[in-house]
């Protein structure tokens, strides 16, 4: 089974999230998954088996308990596969970071000007809306 087929199932992704927090018994995993997804204990066991057979999880016996843990190797393979696509979202995230920084800088500048978000200009009418300009033109000019 291909790694993305394994990870395509929301139940298996959630199991991996639980295991990423640390080793867990099959009973612990089962109780969380059953509560969240409303599936039976045998169905949870089937998902654990798929994860184990695909190499995403390992199991060890401790008395009567079975303890599951995440295996990193298949996740590294998925990461390498995703690497060829990473540029698509990293460029957008970089652009978003730039825009957030610009907004933060503009807010600081605005606060330094007493909250006026208009940029200073040579012509005081340039930063005004048409409504403000019209309203000002109705007022008599000083001599």
Question: Which of 39, 43, 44, 53 lies closest to 18, judged by CA?
Answer: 44
63 φ/ψ angles, rounded to the nearest 5 degrees: 65, -130
pLDDT digits (tens, 9 = 90+) for 114-128: 755 455 444 555 555
Q: What percent of the chain has pLDDT over 90?
A: 49
Residue 131, pLDDT > 60, answer: no
Domains of the chain in start order, with CATH, are: 3-71 (1.10.10.10)
24 φ/ψ angles, rounded to the nearest 5 degrees: -140, 150
Under a CB-based contact definition with an 8 Å cutoff, are residues 103 and 29 in contact? no
């Amino acid at each position: 089974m291909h790694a993305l087929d394994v990870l395509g199932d929301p139940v298996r992704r959630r199991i991996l999230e639980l295991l990423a927090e640390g080793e867990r018994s099959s009973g612990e995993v089962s109780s969380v998954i059953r509560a969240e997804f409303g599936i039976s204990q045998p169905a949870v066991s089937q998902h654990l088996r798929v994860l184990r057979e695909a190499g995403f999880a390992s199991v060890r016996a401790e008395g009567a308990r079975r303890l599951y843990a995440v295996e990193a190797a298949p996740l590294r393979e998925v990461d390498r596969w995703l690497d060829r696509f990473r540029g698509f979202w990293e460029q957008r995230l970089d652009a978003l970071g730039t825009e957030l920084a610009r907004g933060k800088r503009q807010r600081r500048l605005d606060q330094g000007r007493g909250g006026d978000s208009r940029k200073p200009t040579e012509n005081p009418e340039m930063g005004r809306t048409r409504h403000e300009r019209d309203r000002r033109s109705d007022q008599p000019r000083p001599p």
